[in-house]
Amino acid sequence: MEVSKLFTTAFFILQTLILVSSAPGNSNLFREYIGAEFKNVRFSDLPINKNVEFHFILSFAIDYTTSSSASPTNGKFNIFWDTDNLTPSQVTAIKSKNSNVKVALSLGGDSVGGGYAYFNPSSVNSWLSNAVSSLTHIIQEYNLDGIDIDYEHFQTDPDTFAQCIGQLISTLKKNGVISVASIAPYDDDQVQSHYMALWKSYGHLIDYVNFQFYAYDQGTTVSQFMDYFETQRSNYKGGKILPSFISDGSGGLSPENGFFTACSKLKSEGNLHGIFVWCADDSKALDFKYEKHSQSLLAISH
């Protein structure tokens, strides 16, 4: 009888360990923004672990004019990343060399032409028509796989934002133009009101939530980070929330202060859906050491 109990207990412990190590929520996804800071970084500069799914995110495409006094174009997107070093041929080359690589583009960002990049549509239908047309052209020219939504300033209400962006994602996916869509909110009342409205109506079309945890205060602790993560899991119910850090250490939980400890805790809970980094432009000076660490952790996380 005692032997039987002992065997049953041992089997239960082993089964639990197996379930934790292979928890279905864990993923080997690594994502990194690239090109916004014009520091001559190329796709080929980054270390790519063959055992992860690797997404580059070109930053940014913005619906503003490219003149020095940039102005809104109502959904007619232009390219604002480092096109000298991040070209269509280089997208094709990095994807051909690495079957585990996808490349997306991010929309919006914080600023353009010395001012904020506002989401400022004239109407849902006109913005959507322009956005579908201009983005389809860019995505096909660059052989891209997806879009990321990173608007951070708004001159419209949350519902209009939700309808514009939600219908954009829906249309591009339906047309076979993209296969991946993500959003990149952070902890700000106006930002959250817009993205949570989008999530409420179109969350089923959004593959990843690239939550900007580095927008929290510099010096964030592991315990605080875990609390923040739970808060965002509640805000974006059912979403794949990705933990994140900023390369220059200017905010949030840094790699030096416990970011990977937090990721290991998430992994043990089955909640490590991937990791993303802002940004390759700054990481280049650090020889991408934290990218290597991130990918090593992810390669055994699922």
pLDDT at 22: 41
Q: How far apart are the first and last CA of the chain?
A: 37
As a whole number of angstroms, the distance between CA 199 and CA 117 comes to 21
Tens-digit pLDDT profile for residues 45-89? 999 999 999 999 999 999 999 998 899 999 999 999 999 999 999
Six-digit token string for 281:
């432009």
Lowest mean pLDDT among 19-23, 157-161, 211-215: 19-23
The reported pTM is 0.92
* Residue linked to tokens 């990343």: 81
More confident residue, 20 or 171: 171
Annotated active-site residue 256? The verdict is: no
3-state DSSP assignment of residue 135 = helix
Residue ranges of alpha helices (H) inside the chain are 2-21, 88-97, 124-142, 158-174, 189-202, 222-235, 259-269, 280-283, 289-299
Q: Of these residues, 2, 32, 53, 152, which one is catalytic? A: 152
Give the strand pairing for 111-112 and 115-116. Answer: antiparallel
- Of 108, 113, 117, give the one whose Cα is nearest residue 70: 113
Tens-digit pLDDT profile for residues 118-154? 999 999 999 999 999 999 999 999 999 999 999 999 9
As a whole number of angstroms, the distance between CA 177 and CA 169 comes to 10
pLDDT bucket at 15, cuts 50 / 70 / 90: very low
Average pLDDT over residues 18-36: 77
- Around Cβ 126, how many Cβ atoms within 10 Å? 13
Average pLDDT over residues 179-184: 98
Tens-digit pLDDT profile for residues 197-232? 999 999 999 999 999 999 999 999 999 999 999 999
- Of 247, 178, 148, 208, give the one whose Cα is nearest residue 27: 208
Percent residues over pLDDT 70 in the chain:
91
Checking if the pLDDT of 245 tops 70, the result is yes
Per-chain mean pLDDT for the chain: 93
Give the strand pairing for 29-34 and 53-62. Answer: parallel
